[in-house]
Amino acid sequence: MKISFLIHTVYGIGGTIRTTLNLAGELANRHEVEIVSVFQHRDTAAFAIDPRITVVPLVDTRPDSPGNDLENPLFSQPSKAFPHAEARYKEYSQLVDERVRAHYADSDADIVVGTRPGLVAYVAQFAPPGAVRVGQEHMTHNHHKGALREEMYEHLDAIDAFVTVSEGDAAVWRDKLPLPTTRVLSIPNSVPEPAVAPSDGTGRTVVAAGRLSAEKQYHVLLDAFAKVAAVRPDWVLRIYGSGDQRERLRARIDELALYNQVHLMGAHSPIEPEWAKGAIAVSTSRHESFGMTLVEAMRCGVPMVSTDCDYGPREIIQDGVDGLLVPVGDVTAIAQGLLRLIDDEGLRRGMAKAAADNARRFDPGVVTKQYEALFAELVEDASRRETGPGIAPVADVVVAGDGEVTVTLATPLPEGLEQGATLVCTRTGVQSDVRTFEFDGGGAARIPAGEVFPEGQWNLFVEMATTKVRGRVTARVIDQRGAMHAAQRPAGGGPVHNLVPYEDKAKGSALMLRAWSRPVHAEADDVRLDGMRITLTGSLYGAATVSDAPSLLLRRRGKPAGELSFAGEKKGEHGFRFTFTPVEAVAAQLTAHDVWDLLVRYAPNSKPVKIGKVLDDVVMKKDIYSYPRIVRPKRRTGSLVRAMVKRALRKRPPQVRVRVYYTVSNDLALNVVDL
């Protein structure tokens, strides 16, 4: 097979680069491998690259290079294909779009692998038509902004497999963002056998390594090591890495008077000789998608004391066997873990041997076999879809005014198979949730108006009674007009529901159903923006009644939770109206990209329900219903003198953009983003 990895840059230093090179090098033993580096910012790569791997740089950003692309007019034009909410969006341009598109237009790759969210989106859009498309997640579901996950949905839905580095994270992706035809699984990163002899464990050095960033919580480590140094002053701590927290950590070391026992060593590559100098390794991260440093230390025969953060450490370390897991942010527990290994040499040596033995499961050869098995299965699946036995039904579909959906075969089934055919509907992410409907003599299957489908996306297949062979239905003509009357259908006190057929071009024009089903639903009827003022009018459906004093709730996604409440008014028999400003949401902003969901508490003791727009024929609202953005300065802080200095320097004050928009589930949300 020919395998192509698409990476931000292969010329830098980072965990994604290292693990990609490890995997690519091992695959090169049996396959043709290329690494497509979007950017080349230096002449040579920081890590050694196996000469059997073909490296293809696309955009040259070296200032002194004859092929420098910085002056290309397209370089300054924002990308049209890279997700806007991706952290590196500002680095991507239409030039990058064109270079990636052009490379894969002429590619004969069998497998194309994207190594970060934006590049997974590129793979979904630009990989060769016959290639298997694979996305890798080197962070975690919870690490990404809600806006990015929403943007990525259509791209993740279009690829063949999505691979995380821990099973814990894979489970979260499967639960929070179910994908109907995309395999979501975990394969760990690989770490090769070190080129140095294992640690002999005789030293008195504790080693930590990683970016000097807030998420690594080195300030917690320093406070813990102060407790260690107080009783074991002959032990020292070495911290390897570079980052924006260096000066802060230096100041804390001085404040704790640890300057003789704690040393900031800077970045080192290769790092293995430094691990081997240690008797104990330590990690105090707030979260780890995997934990490359943990495996590196263990492969060098060094037991690890690590915080038990999501998700990697607990899947790498066997607590009490080859290392110790301690609570996140617990200074005392970290100190106690270090002292336990410092004071018990026998335990330390036993864990060191177990660490070296157990970490072999992350050897590139072992991990690569998992990838090869996945690639082989995906290639076989693709081949079966293209050439294997089966049927390829094409159908027209009509939605009646009362909600009945009729699917009519537009082309005849193979002779002898037309008897007893059924329409099979399966819900994405819930394989056991199946609905079947018989075709009549005219080739039509009817889904009754009263049939309530659980909310979600549904795949449509035709299944042969005799052979049980299924074929995904391809859409020809879709008449959705009846869905436009969903708001007028009597609910009868039961759940509010709507079933809308649509064409999914990412699945080869597959016919799909989007179902909404809610016991109580608040439909957004009208959204008006007047300066900073937002007026929202809606209607309540289902077994519920609007009180004279409904409340609008804004709930912040993520942690810590936050909620804002605004009083509203009843309009007519079932309606409500709220007029509010987003000033409080801006004032409560915690991240550069806060997302607030909009809910209505229609009566004083009622459970709030999300406000959305689902009772019509438009399956995806977010790109169709667009409201004006509000741009406003952030709250001024600091002294009048600083404000005057900023004005004198003609610096634009910090601003935020507030946007009301529809999510992928067609529910309303409010987004506060730093500009």
Does residue 35 lie in a domain region? yes
The DSSP bridge pattern shows strands 183-186 and 161-164 to be: parallel
- Token reading at 287: 């979260």
Question: Are 24 and 167 contained in the same domain?
Answer: yes
- Measured torsion, CA atoms of residues 368, 372, 375, 381, in degrees rounded to the nearest 10: -150
**Residue whose C-alpha is closest to residue 311's, from 294, 332, 333:** 294
561 pLDDT higher than 90: no
Which pLDDT band holds residue 548 (cuts at 50, 70, 90)? very high
Summarize pLDDT for 52-93 with one digit per residue, the tens.
999 999 999 999 999 999 999 999 999 999 999 999 999 999
CA distances from 1 to 34, 187, 366, 409 (A): 11, 20, 19, 38
Question: Are 219 and 335 contained in the same domain?
Answer: yes
Q: How far is it, in rounded angstroms, from Cα 235 to Cα 218?
A: 17
- Tracing tokens 């002053």 back to the chain, one arrives at 233
The residue-averaged pLDDT of 362-391 equals 80
Q: What local confidence, expressed as pLDDT, does residue 8 receive?
A: 98
> pLDDT averaged over the chain?
90
Q: How far is it, in rounded angstroms, from Cα 406 to Cα 221?
A: 64
Q: How far is it, in rounded angstroms, from Cα 363 to Cα 23?
A: 10
Q: What local confidence, expressed as pLDDT, does residue 16 receive?
A: 92
More confident call, 573 vs 11: 11
Quote the number of domains for the chain: 4
Which pLDDT band holds residue 311 (cuts at 50, 70, 90)? confident
Instruction: Using the 3D structure, point to which of 473, 492, 511 is the last residue of a domain.
Output: 511
- Token reading at 14: 């980072």
More confident call, 128 vs 506: 128
Number of H-type helices and E-type strands within the chain: 15, 34
CA angle 502, 506, 507 (to 5 degrees): 75
The residue-averaged pLDDT of 357-361 equals 95
- Tracing tokens 């990609």 back to the chain, one arrives at 20
Flag whether the pTM goes above 0.75: no
Q: How far is it, in rounded angstroms, from Cα 398 to Cα 481?
A: 8
Summarize pLDDT for 120-140 with one digit per residue, the tens.
999 999 999 889 999 999 999
**376 by DSSP, 3-state: which?**
helix
Does residue 406 lie in a domain region? yes
- Tracing tokens 């819900």 back to the chain, one arrives at 427
- Tracing tokens 């975990």 back to the chain, one arrives at 186
- Token reading at 40: 């080349």
CA distances from 646 to 21, 632, 634 (A): 46, 17, 14
**Considering the chain, what percentage of its residues have pLDDT values greater than 70?**
93
Burial of 606 (0-12, 13-18, 19+ CB in 10 A): middle
Question: Are 263 and 174 contained in the same domain?
Answer: no
Which pLDDT band holds residue 645 (cuts at 50, 70, 90)? very low
The residue-averaged pLDDT of 283-293 equals 91
Dihedral pair phi/psi, residue 125, rounded to 5°:
-90, -35
653 pLDDT higher than 60: no
Q: What local confidence, expressed as pLDDT, does residue 646 receive?
A: 47
**Considering the chain, what percentage of its residues have pLDDT values greater than 90?**
69
Which pLDDT band holds residue 384 (cuts at 50, 70, 90)? low
More confident call, 282 vs 491: 282
Sequence-separated (6 or more) residues with CB below 8 Å from residue 440: none
**Residue whose C-alpha is closest to residue 269's, from 17, 35, 5:** 17
Which amino acid is it at 540? L
Which amino acid is it at 86? E
Which DSSP state fits 413? P
Q: What local confidence, expressed as pLDDT, does residue 420 receive?
A: 74
Cis-peptide into 270, omega within 30 deg: yes
Question: Are 170 and 215 contained in the same domain?
Answer: no
Q: How far is it, in rounded angstroms, from Cα 189 to Cα 311?
A: 13
**Residue whose C-alpha is closest to residue 474's, from 442, 503, 514:** 503
The residue-averaged pLDDT of 499-526 equals 90
Question: Are 297 and 413 contained in the same domain?
Answer: no
> Tell me, what CATH number does 490's domain have?
2.60.40
559 pLDDT higher than 80: no
222 pLDDT higher than 60: yes
Does residue 621 lie in a domain region? yes
Instruction: Using the 3D structure, point to which of 136, 157, 186 is the last residue of a domain.
Output: 186
Summarize pLDDT for 191-205 with one digit per residue, the tens.
999 999 999 998 999
Which pLDDT band holds residue 612 (cuts at 50, 70, 90)? very high
Per the CB < 8 A criterion, the answer to whether 304 and 294 are in contact is yes
Q: What local confidence, expressed as pLDDT, does residue 81 receive?
A: 94
Instruction: Using the 3D structure, point to which of 511, 543, 575 is the last residue of a domain.
Output: 511
Q: What local confidence, expressed as pLDDT, does residue 470 receive?
A: 76
Q: What local confidence, expressed as pLDDT, does residue 637 receive?
A: 42
Per the CB < 8 A criterion, the answer to whether 240 and 207 are in contact is yes
Q: What local confidence, expressed as pLDDT, does residue 218 receive?
A: 97
Dihedral pair phi/psi, residue 398, rounded to 5°:
-135, 135
Question: Are 563 and 626 contained in the same domain?
Answer: yes
Q: How far is it, in rounded angstroms, from Cα 626 to Cα 623?
A: 7
Question: Are 347 and 455 contained in the same domain?
Answer: no
Which pLDDT band holds residue 641 (cuts at 50, 70, 90)? very low
Work out whether the CA dihedral 327, 330, 331, 332 comes out positive or negative: negative
Question: Are 498 and 528 contained in the same domain?
Answer: no
More confident call, 631 vs 225: 225
User: Which three-class secondary structure string do you get for 451-490?
Assistant: CCCCCEEEEEEEECCCCCCEEECEEEEEECHHHHHHHHCC
Per the CB < 8 A criterion, the answer to whether 585 and 552 are in contact is no
Question: Are 167 and 282 contained in the same domain?
Answer: no
377 pLDDT higher than 60: yes
Does residue 194 lie in a domain region? no
Q: Lowest mean pLDDT: which of 11-25, 162-176, 449-463, 489-503? A: 489-503
Does residue 221 lie in a domain region? yes
Which pLDDT band holds residue 457 (cuts at 50, 70, 90)? confident
463 pLDDT higher than 90: no
Q: How far is it, in rounded angstroms, from Cα 580 to Cα 600?
A: 13
447 forms beta bridges with 405
Q: Lowest mean pLDDT: which of 168-177, 196-205, 650-659? A: 650-659
Q: How far is it, in rounded angstroms, from Cα 436 to Cα 445?
A: 9
415 pLDDT higher than 80: no
Question: Are 150 and 96 contained in the same domain?
Answer: yes
Per the CB < 8 A criterion, the answer to whether 315 and 166 are in contact is yes
Q: How far is it, in rounded angstroms, from Cα 669 to Cα 656?
A: 16
> Tell me, what CATH number does 11's domain have?
3.40.50.2000
Q: How far is it, in rounded angstroms, from Cα 525 to Cα 519?
A: 19
Question: Are 574 and 488 contained in the same domain?
Answer: no
165 pLDDT higher than 70: yes
**What is the residue-wise DSSP string for 93-108?**
BHHHHHHHHHHHHT--
Give the structural domain span for 266.
205-359
Does residue 369 lie in a domain region? no
Q: How far is it, in rounded angstroms, from Cα 313 to Cα 306?
A: 7
Which pLDDT band holds residue 493 (cuts at 50, 70, 90)? low
Which pLDDT band holds residue 638 (cuts at 50, 70, 90)? very low
Does residue 380 lie in a domain region? no
Dihedral pair phi/psi, residue 103, rounded to 5°:
-60, -50
Does residue 448 lie in a domain region? yes
**What is the residue-wise DSSP string for 166-205?**
SHHHHHHHHHHS--SS-EEEE-----PPPSSPPP-S-S-E
Sequence-separated (6 or more) residues with CB below 8 Å from residue 29: none
**Residue whose C-alpha is closest to residue 500's, from 517, 480, 486:** 480
The residue-averaged pLDDT of 249-262 equals 96
Q: Cβ–Cβ contacts within 10 Å for residue 595, how many? A: 22
Question: Are 482 and 526 contained in the same domain?
Answer: no
393 pLDDT higher than 80: yes
Return the exposure string of 398-431: e unless at least 16 CB atoms fall within 10 Å of the residue's CB, then b: bbeeebbbbbbbbeebeeebbeebbbbbbbbbee
